[in-house]
Structure 1
Amino acid sequence: MQTVTAVAHRGDPYRFRENTLDSLRSALARGADAVEIDVRLTRDGVPVLLHDETLGRLWGHDRPLRSLTADEVRELTGGGVPPLADALAATEGGRVMIDLPGGPSARAVARIVGAVRDCGAEDRVYYCAGAEAMLAVRAADPSAEIALTWTSLAPPRAGVLEAVRPRWLNYRFGLVDRELVERVHRDGRLVSVWTPDTRRSQRRLLGIGVDSITTNRVDLLRGPRGR
């Protein structure tokens, strides 16, 4: 029986606001094997959980995160945007997939990887994003586990794979078919997909042999994932 890793996308966003501590805890309580979080830096260099460039969509303040200090973010959101250190503490014992949105600089990536190290969480954290961000992760931590996000059906170039050394290739789920999965497996890597949120799409992916599914509906995936 193959077991697929169930990754909760930004926690449990159908029950709690995404990327909050309540959302992460809920996802793990509902059976997620890992939680996926988005991490950016505040103006004063504190890694916090936020997917968007601004606080507008989730918190009603249309201000860029990069213009705000961590204290200002805490004030504006009532503590709702947690620092990465708090998220790692809240998920202690669970796996965490850190996405790095927005094309962060190498310095920003190093700051985030350093925060993970300071928390002693290297063994349970892995990273996903495009090649440039993952090269920065690899430079900051040569032993980091990486899921290289890839948006093309054409395979990554050999030079990219050699430099990044990903364990996973991470695809939008609609791109993935059995042939792609078999090709990635032949090359000695695992296939991660995002974000199928219906039973039908999840079952199709289970049937073609993907290794990990990142979803907003981890509750749907809990039933069919083991097979």
Structure 2
Amino acid sequence: MNRRFPLVTAHAGCMGIAAHTLRSVRAGLELGADVAEEDIRVTRDGVAVLAHDDELPTADGPIASVAGMTYAELSGLRLLADQGAQEGGEPETFRLLKLEDILPLIQTSGKAINLDLKVDEAIEPAAALVRKFGLEDRAFYSGCQRDRALLARKLEPALRRMLNADVELFKTMPYDEAMAMTREDALAAGCCGINVYHGIVTKAFVDYAGERGLPVYVWTVEDEALMRRYADWGVGSITSRDVKTLLRAKREWTAPDA
């Protein structure tokens, strides 16, 4: 019987490399990930850039604001990486990248990109770049809870979107009710799947979403035993910083005698 392993998604900053850098994107793709995930924000002048947080520490001390500064202002700053520095060494620095800087890598690799939107303002600039590089079939939005997913459907209906499951919902409601509301929100926003923190996912959730054609993508998984468990449950994708371990789990999971 043929078994299909979940898509391997390389988290921004995979393999201990500073997040939101070309080195990190290349590392995930060259190792064999199916999808590269990147966080998207927008500068004051509307440029889509790679950044998880709005406030970014700089090597010179001041805090930079993505939303409050132009790309030209931000591009001249040395930003401090949140990972990737050698132990006992100097903190690693990097320059802010535009989304446009990494899309040629996605284009030539034949792989997909997960655009994790951190602000509503990123919806349209990101979609414009996806069209520019002809990646409509290989790009999708995540980072969309109900309101952002609905807005994305209104503004850019052709670009696929995943509903981000609201963790707080699962903390404050009975699990079955939270599961049902999440599925209905995904369907109402025309989502192609559900993106969920792995700590709240269950096989029942995966099966329930799958009944309506909604694959469940889980993030961020670093433990190999959990990777195997989620693969057994039939999730659509596993996001990890440890791409090597995830790919090893894939090879062993799909082996004939696995």
**In the comparison of the two structures, how many residue pairs are matched?**
223
Q: 1:50: how far off? A: 0.4
Aligned partners of 1:57, 1:34: CA distance in 2, in Å? Answer: 29
**Match of residue 126, structure 2, among 92, 106, 112:** 112
- Pairing partner for 1:180 from 199, 202, 205: 205
Aligned residue among 228, 238, 244 for 1:213: 238
Q: Which position in structure 2 is the counterpart of 1:68?
A: 69
- Report percent identity of matched pairs: 30
Q: Do the aligned partners of 2:123 and 2:156 also contact (CA within 8 Å) in 1? A: no
Equivalent position SS for 1:123: coil
Residue 112 of structure 1 deviates from its aligned partner by 2.3
Deviation string, structure 1 residues 206-226 (Cα, Å, up to 9, x no partner): 222211001111111001225
What TM-score, normalized by structure 2, do the two folds share? Answer: 0.79
Matched, 1:90 2:105: yes
Q: Distance in 2 between matches of 1:140 and 1:96?
A: 19
For the 8 Å contact 1:97–1:128, the answer to whether it is kept is: yes
Describe how 1:162-173 pairs up with structure 2 within 5 A: 162-173=187-198
Contact 2:40-2:122 within 8 A present in 1 as well: no
Instruction: Output the TM-score relative to the length of structure 1.
Output: 0.89
Equivalence for 2:90: none
Quote the offset at 1:162 in angstroms.
3.7
Inter-partner Cα distance in structure 2 for 1:82 and 1:212: 26
Structure 2: how far apart are the matches of 1:2 and 1:170? 19
> Is 2:227 aligned against 1:202?
yes
CA contact (8 A) 2:36 2:113 kept: yes
Give the structure 1 partner of residue 48 of structure 2. Answer: 47
CA distance in 1, matches of 2:213, 2:239: 21
Q: Once the 2 structures are TM-superposed, how far is the Cα of residue 145 of structure 1 from its aligned partner? A: 1.5
Distance 1:51 1:158, change over 3 A: closer
Distance 1:59 1:136, change over 3 A: farther
Q: Give the distance between the partners of 1:111 and 1:185, measured in 2 at CA.
A: 31
Kindly indicate whether residue 147 of structure 2 is the aligned counterpart of residue 147 of structure 1: no
Partner of 1:22: 23
- Are the counterparts in 2 of residues 113 and 137 from structure 1 also a CA contact under 8 Å? no
Query: Given residue 178 of structure 1, which amino acid in structure 2 is its aligned partner?
Result: K
Conserved in 1, the CA contact under 8 Å of 2:37 and 2:116?
yes
Which AA in structure 1 matches 2:4? Q
Contact 1:172 1:193 in 2 (8 A): yes
1:114 is matched by which residue type in structure 2?
A
For residues 69 and 27 of structure 2, what CA distance do their matches in structure 1 show?
28
CA–CA distance in 2 between the matches of 1:90 and 1:58? 28
User: 2 CA distance for matches of 1:5 and 1:11?
Assistant: 18
Gaps of 5+ in 2: 80-93
Q: Who wins on radius of gyration, i.e. which is larger?
A: 2
Which sits farther off after the overlay, 78-87 or 89-98? 78-87
